[in-house]
Chains A and B, each alone.
Chain A
Amino acid sequence: MMYDVLFGSYGVAAHLFGLAVILAFRRKELPASTLRYAGIAAIAVGLLAALYMMVEAWTETGQPPFKTLYQSLIFFSATTALVFLFTGFRSAVMGLLTALFVLATLAYGYMKQDAEAVQLPPALQSAWFIPHVVVYFLGYSALFVSFVASILYFVFPQERDLPSAQLFGTLRLDLDHFTYRIVLFGYAMLSAGLILGALWAKFAWGDWWSWDPKENWALITWLVYTAYLHFRLTRRLGPRGLAWLSIIGFLAVMFTYLGVNYLPSAQQALHSYSMQ
């Protein structure tokens, strides 16, 4: 079953990266580096498994595989793997945290798994649906990587000597700068997702903004990262403060994605996933 491959590959990746981190701390550079490459391969397998499941679901139902929370979490694992493979791959620690995070989201998705394929209601049959979801999830995944970098900042502040070069590849990483660049990308995706959502809402419901709980939390997330960028660009906050803001920003992202459904006001919300 493809789900086992998906879950298993991140489990394997977590073990490989975990071992790599331990070896790196013991300054065994070569095996650490080899294990890290093996971890990257395992994440790539997980990405392919998620894509396979999505294509399968799409061809089976004829509907884009984003309708249910379970499906969306599988797609989220794919975008997170993709962003990791482009940005964080030099770091075994980042690989470990990415694999653990994906495992947690997949486990949550498994708990919320749908009993049957849900029939797409008319409001979701829209050309805006796929770009809206894809852009947002790319943004969410990028902001996850920046969140991990911010947490690592507290573990390895840039002034200190790193235990091993292998933890961050051969180059030493300026975590503050790394976070900033990924937030720039994530922020652009949040803006684009917000705008695609607004245009879609205009076509579906007649209003491009209606203060729906999901919209509001998307706005809150956007405002937090707007504040982050203002503080970063003017250097009014030091790296510590910025790392905190980036962590708060990602917590807002997670709340927008998964928490809004639990708000009392979400009952009338237009965005709620079918929670089984």
Chain B
Amino acid sequence: MTETRKNYLMSLGVAVGTAIVGVVAQTVGAPWLLAIVAAVLAAPGPTRKLLTTFEFATAVLIILTLATAVGTLDYALGVFDSLWFKGLMALMGLSSLLCLLFRYSSGKGIPYVLIHLSIIVILVGGAMKEQLKQTGMVHLREGEATNQLQLLKDGELSSEVLRLPFSIRLDRFKVEFYESDLKLYVFRHQEEGPAAELPAKEGATTTVDGVTIEFVALQDHPYVPTPGHPPIQVKMARILVDGKAGLVLMGRPVINGKLALVLDEKNGEPKSYQSTLTILDENGQELNTRSVVVNDPLIHGGWWLYQSNWDPRDLSYSGILLVNDPGLYVSIAGLVMLVLGTLAKIRFRKRNREGVLP
């Protein structure tokens, strides 16, 4: 058997062994078993030597790739929450670490160090997140304040409540919508949902069951709901049906053979949700006031406050998500190192004797 093949087989054995320990650790509830495995593998000896080989690094890459694909195919398998998967990720970190410690030579350059170190740092940040992250929701109506955080466990709201070292007050909540959309809808007889929709634009045309409908103009029309009362202004579409002029009043269906034409206005989708929040200390002193929108959280003492929920039936309510991830800046440092390392590896110019570039 060649050295390469032997190393691959042994690497596979180490990976499978680690995964088995992961499964056992999860079953008996002892995640520190994995740490013991890592320590044994990294101790001087033949396994540590194996872990610094090229074969081990690539074997772990391939196994992780396959495991991620399988886990994505069916989330019910719970791959990404499992300790065996985390064990494999730990092996990738261990492999990077040992390569840095025992295989680095100055010829490999700074990008080599940055990229391999970044993997370790990202994984450490991820592990810190996994162990230490706290997440929860506060539900507030305008004017209310609270320091009670309803904790989220595995993405579900739990009954557990955490008392925050500060209070959050919702001063104001505001939803903005995109402009509403006025359209002419064409329905078929006894069919649910429109068969076609025509934007209220001059010249817009559609053909349904051989009938061509063209939008001509939109105008206000004085409409008398009850005789004797003053007229109200109603929107009206002037249209052409197969070249013949016709009128459709807002909200009043017009029947044309087997088709019904309805001019209707649909509310636009929400454009932004905005909560104005004030952070108060334990004595009720105001520390910070800011408006929070999606994509722009308020950051206070390690806690990130997100606009996260609203209630269309109660527009004074706002749901604020709170996240505290002590590993965040570790992870970000690792991610930045990874980008710098890979960017530094790009070669834009032709370098040496190879001279065979396009």
Binding site for B on A (CB under 8 A): 87-91, 116, 119, 121-123, 125-126, 128, 168-169, 171-174, 177-178, 181, 184-185, 187-188, 191-192, 194-195, 198-200, 202-209, 211, 213, 216-217, 219-220, 223-224, 226-227, 230-231, 234, 236, 263-265
User: Is A265 a contact of B328 with CB atoms below 8 Å?
Assistant: no
Q: Which residue of A lies closest to B199 (CB)?
A: A116
Does B269 touch A at the CB level, under 8 Å? yes
Point out the residues of chain A lying under 8 angstroms from B338, CB to CB. 191, 195
CA of A173 to CA of B332, assembled, Å: 40
Point out the residues of chain B lying under 8 angstroms from A208, CB to CB. 328, 331-332, 335
With A195-B335, A195-B336 in contact, do A203 and B296 touch (Cβ < 8 Å)?
Answer: yes
Point out the residues of chain A lying under 8 angstroms from B71, CB to CB. 211, 216
User: Is B72 a contact of A216 with CB atoms below 8 Å?
Assistant: yes
User: Is A223 a contact of B64 with CB atoms below 8 Å?
Assistant: yes
With A119-B269, A191-B342, A220-B68 in contact, do A178 and B358 touch (Cβ < 8 Å)?
Answer: yes
Point out the residues of chain B lying under 8 angstroms from A188, CB to CB. 339, 342-343, 345-346
Point out the residues of chain A lying under 8 angstroms from B293, CB to CB. 122
Q: Nearest Cβ in chain A — how far from B306, in angstroms?
A: 5
Q: Which residue of A lies closest to B338 (CB)?
A: A191
Q: Which residue of A lies closest to B183 (CB)?
A: A116
Q: Nearest Cβ in chain B — how far from A230, in angstroms?
A: 6
Does B313 touch A at the CB level, under 8 Å? no
Does B268 touch A at the CB level, under 8 Å? yes
10 further interface pairs, Cβ-Cβ under 8 Å (given A188-B342, A220-B72, A226-B61)? A122-B293, A123-B294, A171-B357, A171-B358, A217-B72, A220-B68, A223-B64, A236-B58, A263-B72, A265-B73
CA of A205 to CA of B269, assembled, Å: 20
**5 A-B pairs with the lowest CB-CB distances in the bound complex, closest first:** A174-B356, A122-B294, A188-B342, A206-B323, A211-B80
Binding site for A on B (CB under 8 A): 4, 54, 57-58, 61-62, 64-65, 68-69, 71-75, 80, 126, 129, 135, 178, 199, 268-273, 293-297, 304, 306, 308, 321, 323, 325, 328, 331-332, 335-336, 338-339, 342-343, 345-347, 354-358
Cross-chain pairs A/B with CB under 8 angstroms, 6 sampled: A91-B358, A174-B356, A184-B347, A191-B338, A198-B331, A264-B74
CA of A226 to CA of B335, assembled, Å: 15
User: Is A177 a contact of B358 with CB atoms below 8 Å?
Assistant: no
User: Is A174 a contact of B354 with CB atoms below 8 Å?
Assistant: yes
Q: Which residue of B lies closest to A149 (CB)?
A: B358
User: Is A209 a contact of B61 with CB atoms below 8 Å?
Assistant: no
Determine chain A's interface SS by DSSP, over half rule: helix
User: Is A184 a contact of B345 with CB atoms below 8 Å?
Assistant: yes
CA of A88 to CA of B296, assembled, Å: 41
CA of A200 to CA of B332, assembled, Å: 12
CA of A230 to CA of B345, assembled, Å: 13
Point out the residues of chain A lying under 8 angstroms from B335, CB to CB. 194-195, 198-199, 208
Point out the residues of chain A lying under 8 angstroms from B58, CB to CB. 227, 230-231, 236
User: Is A177 a contact of B356 with CB atoms below 8 Å?
Assistant: yes
CA of A265 to CA of B354, assembled, Å: 47
Point out the residues of chain B lying under 8 angstroms from A265, CB to CB. 72-75
User: Is A206 a contact of B295 with CB atoms below 8 Å?
Assistant: no
User: Is B358 a contact of A168 with CB atoms below 8 Å?
Assistant: yes
Point out the residues of chain A lying under 8 angstroms from B343, CB to CB. 188, 192
Q: Which residue of A lies closest to B72 (CB)?
A: A216
Set A123, A168, A213: member contacting B295, Cβ < 8 A: A123
With A203-B296, A206-B306 in contact, do A173 and B339 touch (Cβ < 8 Å)?
Answer: no
User: Is B270 a contact of A122 with CB atoms below 8 Å?
Assistant: yes
User: Is A206 a contact of B358 with CB atoms below 8 Å?
Assistant: no
CA of A211 to CA of B191, assembled, Å: 41
Point out the residues of chain A lying under 8 angstroms from B270, CB to CB. 121-122
Set A169, A187, A199, A206: member contacting B297, Cβ < 8 A: A206
Point out the residues of chain A lying under 8 angstroms from B75, CB to CB. 265
User: Is B358 a contact of A88 with CB atoms below 8 Å?
Assistant: yes
Point out the residues of chain A lying under 8 angstroms from B54, CB to CB. 230, 234, 236
CA of A236 to CA of B71, assembled, Å: 29
Set A173, A213, A223, A234: member contacting B72, Cβ < 8 A: A213
Q: Which residue of B lies closest to A125 (CB)?
A: B295
CA of A157 to CA of B295, assembled, Å: 50
Most A-side CB within 10 Å, residue of B71, B297, B338, B358: B358
Q: Nearest Cβ in chain A — how far from B204, in angstroms?
A: 11
Q: Which residue of A lies closest to B293 (CB)?
A: A122
User: Is B342 a contact of A192 with CB atoms below 8 Å?
Assistant: yes
User: Is B358 a contact of A122 with CB atoms below 8 Å?
Assistant: no
CA of A188 to CA of B338, assembled, Å: 9
Q: Which residue of B lies closest to A191 (CB)?
A: B342
User: Is A125 a contact of B294 with CB atoms below 8 Å?
Assistant: yes
CA of A125 to CA of B294, assembled, Å: 8
Point out the residues of chain A lying under 8 angstroms from B126, CB to CB. 209
Set A89, A119, A219: member contacting B268, Cβ < 8 A: A119
Point out the residues of chain A lying under 8 angstroms from B294, CB to CB. 122-123, 125, 204
Point out the residues of chain A lying under 8 angstroms from B306, CB to CB. 205-206
Q: Which residue of B lies closest to A229 (CB)?
A: B345
User: Is B358 a contact of A227 with CB atoms below 8 Å?
Assistant: no
Point out the residues of chain A lying under 8 angstroms from B304, CB to CB. 202, 206
Point out the residues of chain A lying under 8 angstroms from B74, CB to CB. 264-265
User: Is B358 a contact of A89 with CB atoms below 8 Å?
Assistant: yes
Q: Nearest Cβ in chain B — how far from A219, in angstroms?
A: 6
CA of A223 to CA of B88, assembled, Å: 14
Q: Nearest Cβ in chain B — how far from A211, in angstroms?
A: 4
User: Is B358 a contact of A223 with CB atoms below 8 Å?
Assistant: no
With A172-B356, A177-B356, A236-B54 in contact, do A223 and B65 touch (Cβ < 8 Å)?
Answer: yes
Point out the residues of chain A lying under 8 angstroms from B336, CB to CB. 195
Point out the residues of chain A lying under 8 angstroms from B269, CB to CB. 119, 121
Point out the residues of chain A lying under 8 angstroms from B57, CB to CB. 230
